[in-house]
Structure 1
Amino acid sequence: MSDVSASAGPRADTRPPTIASSGLRSTAVLALGTFAVGTDAFVVAGFLPAMSASLGVSAATAGQSVTVFALSYAVLAPVVSTLAARVPRRLLLVTALLVLAAANLGSALAPTLPVLLATRVLAAAGAAGYTPNAGAVSAALVRPEQRGRALAVVIGGLTVATALGVPLGTLLNQITDWRTVLAAVALLCLLVAAGVRLVMPALPGAPRTPFRQRLAVLRRPAVLGVLPLTTLGMASCYTIYAYSIPALQAAGSPVGWAGLMLFLYGAGAVAGNLYAGYAIDRWGPVPLLTGAYVLMAVVLAAGGALALAGSRLPLVVAAIAFGWGASSWSQTPAQQHRLIAAAPGEAPLVVSLNSSGIYLGIALGTAVGGAAYATGFPAMYATGAAGAVIALLFLVLTARRTATGKA
């Protein structure tokens, strides 16, 4: 059997029956790992006041732990993918989860902010070794016509954690402390590592390839036409994410509905991700992305219009929250599908680059949203909607040139 990257590629299904039959079961286990990664990355935001008090720093300073994790992940994802290219996939995934478990335990025990930040970098290294390879492996374990659903299942774990991370952290903050939660994440990583070792079939790593040759994938038009869209799309939907509660209230959400609105955003994210898996396998990723960016532009523009008019239409805001979540998290499976089709021999590398693009988009969108915050929520919504339109135009201009099969 060829390596995992190649098996993620073109049409012929040459996998042994044992691997093909275990594919969907293994993707469910892999999804638990991406849920652990996402929880680790985002649940801390709900604990920032308590964390700052525990470490003796301001909440803004404690928030650097989230920024350090995101930026470290963005930098380390392609590096880890390249350095670990020859490591058998199951061993790589288990090792990454063990590193993530150790890092979270270190974060839970961190006595000072510098120690916490160091453990967040280590956690990012573990996450960078796990998430992109989990996506590439999931595509390799199923038939080509099931690839979209497999990617959606694995990304679904990250989607659920990302969508519910902040409200979950806020809820848990009333029950327990941040150190206990991070210790629980460490335990979850250990359990998933055991599950991956037991359930996932053995898959070899990639053959030895010079570093320069591996990076040559970045010169392919089909890859260069896809990666920037990941950053554009995530930046657009994350323009208001960090300020989601006051932004939704400005659009007309009642103050007491904050939890409900965040739940609807999360429900939309999960629904959008699951629908994306079905739609990609049936129609291809480009039609799915087109609909996602149109929906994103419409709901963000509607939020800005309501905020500008000072309207109080809570049911409309609820629909906006759901549509915002759905359009945001239907992007990732489609983008991964396009990249794997464009470079099947370098699937782990291009998926890791896509992960870097996601976190760069999150950082960019949050920064742009912060800059727009000073001019008011209508401007913030308008900025996000404009970003969605730009992403749509970029997709239209590049889709035909970058198409490979259905990519």
Structure 2
Amino acid sequence: MLDVPIRTRPSSALVLALGTFAVGTDAFVVAGFLPEMAASLHVSEAAAGQSTTVFAAAYAIGSPVLATLTARLPRRRLLVGALIVLGLANVGSALAPSLPILIATRVLAALGAAAYTPNAGAVAASLVRPESRARALAVVVGGLTIATALGVPLGNVAAQWLGWRSALGLVAGLSGVVAAGVFAIMPRLPGGPQVPLRSRLAVLRHPAVVRVLPLTVLGMAAAYTAYAYSVPALEGVGVSAIGLMLFLYGAGAVAGNLLSGYATDRWGARRVLAIGYVLMALTMGILAWLAASDVAIPVAVGVLMVGWGASSWCQTPPQQHRLISAAPGEAALLVSLNSSAIYAGIGLGTVLGGMTLTWEVSWMYGTAALLAAAALAVTLRKPR
């Protein structure tokens, strides 16, 4: 555990959130220009969407491995290096002439993200009092949710005005700027002991951990079945103001993440998760009905987008809080494993979304609603 209280270094907390904003922008920005990217690379939208799947899979696998390999590195050096890798990978993605090269650079970007995000979360969670832990996690995750509010809509606008390659170039520049900020402002924080991966993963035998991680996968799969293909998904419900709708999703995501941190500290994780999954199932179900009935109600879709974003990103603070409460001494690893589970869920959701996109948009939303209902059932099941 680190011993430099983050509450005595307010600027450090802000920098951690700015770093997750850069990572989140990279992870989510593709959804804003997926059709343009697919056309440029001469592939289908479903095929281009698999770049998100590959990113998610590389993150999920790489996160615990990198946590082991980089355990002894000073935290500032690790975070700066991860952001530099992320920036260089986005330069490669912006210049990619074909889908295979794009996918290779997305794998590299995922490794940079996997090295950054869990360590940023672990630093925040380890250095505050237990009763404030969920709120600290919400601040760090807030960078990701703000990225959904700003990164995806701005990516959509940048792709329309500058092209999708320039949009990825802007993400690369953002990563470099934040890396410089982390280096300048973050305090010197030591690394931890070198623990073999096999020993680290022993925590997976903990009953509470076994209950939490599969729920993270299921919940994020529900959230991302349609979101990875948000442009065609929104066109399927008669919406033309795609950028505005993506911004409303992001606004809901920011509100849901921040409110869930406070609510978890006050009322408990299971209650917050249950409310979130009920909202997600209802939102996806109504969108499925709108798509199937070919009814266009833009105002209603806007309201649903806020609920979709809030229910998607209210999951992470309570889930991380449950994990860290189960094994406080393994906070860094548990945040890393939960990040892996998040991206495994994103990858699963993207695969399911690509499959259902070839049928009907209503099937895509309907699949997401069923997954959200399954997550609710898992949440409400009483532990033995």
Same fold (TM > 0.5) = yes
CA contact 1:26–1:138 (8 Å) conserved in 2? no
Structure 1 equivalent of residue 92 of structure 2: 106
Question: Percent sequence identity over matched residues?
Answer: 61
**Residue 30 of structure 2: which of 44, 50, 59 is its match?**
44
Equivalences for 1:278-357 in 2 at 5 Å? 278-357=262-341
Which residue number corresponds to residue 7 of structure 1?
none
Aligned mates of 2:226, 2:38 — CA distance in 1: 24
Output the amino acid matched with 2:7.
A
Measure how far apart 1:179 and its partner are: 3.7
Question: Judging changes above 3 Å, is the alpha-carbon distance between structure 1 residues 181 and 316 closer, same or farther for their aligned structure 2 residues?
Answer: closer
Are 2:7 and 1:20 aligned? yes
Q: Residues 292 and 122 (structure 1 numbering): CA distance in 2 closer, same or farther, change over 3 Å? A: same
Q: Which of residues 92, 108, 117 in structure 2 aligns to 1:122?
A: 108
Q: Which residue pairs with 1:404 in the alignment?
A: none
Match of 2:217 in 1: 231
Counterpart for residue 122 of structure 2: 136
- The change in CA–CA distance for 1:30 and 1:378 in structure 2 (over 3 A counts) is same
Structure 2 stretches of 5 or more lacking a match? Answer: none
Q: Using a 3 Å threshold, how does the CA distance of structure 1 residues 397 and 64 change in structure 2: closer, same or farther?
A: closer
> Which amino acid in structure 2 is aligned with residue 103 of structure 1?
A
SS at match of 2:199: helix
Give the alignment's TM-score, normalised by structure 2.
Answer: 0.89
Quote the offset at 1:155 in angstroms.
1.0
- What secondary structure does 2:381 align onto? helix
Q: RMSD between aligned alpha carbons? A: 2.6
Report the Cα offset of residue 334 of structure 1. Answer: 1.5
Whether the 8 Å contact between 2:273 and 2:314 is mirrored in structure 1 is yes
Task: State the alpha-carbon separation in 2 of the partners of residues 153 and 144 from structure 1.
Answer: 15
Q: C-alpha distance in 2, partners of 1:156/1:140?
A: 17
- Residue 12 of structure 1: aligned partner: none
Quick check: 1:381 aligned with 2:365? yes
What is the SS of the residue equivalent to 2:240?
helix
| Structure-2 change in CA distance of 1:377 and 1:109 (3 Å) | closer
Residue type matched to 1:282 in 2? R
Change (3 A) 1:169 1:96: same
SS at match of 2:228: helix
Question: Which TM-score applies when normalising by structure 1?
Answer: 0.85
Per-residue deviation, residues 120-139 of structure 1 (Å, max 9, x unmatched): 22221111100111111111
The AA in structure 2 aligned to 1:58 is: V
In 2, Cα distance between equivalents of 1:154 and 1:71: 22
The answer (yes or no) to whether the contact 1:19–1:201 under 8 Å persists in 2 is no
Give yes or no for the alignment of 1:219 onto 2:202.
no
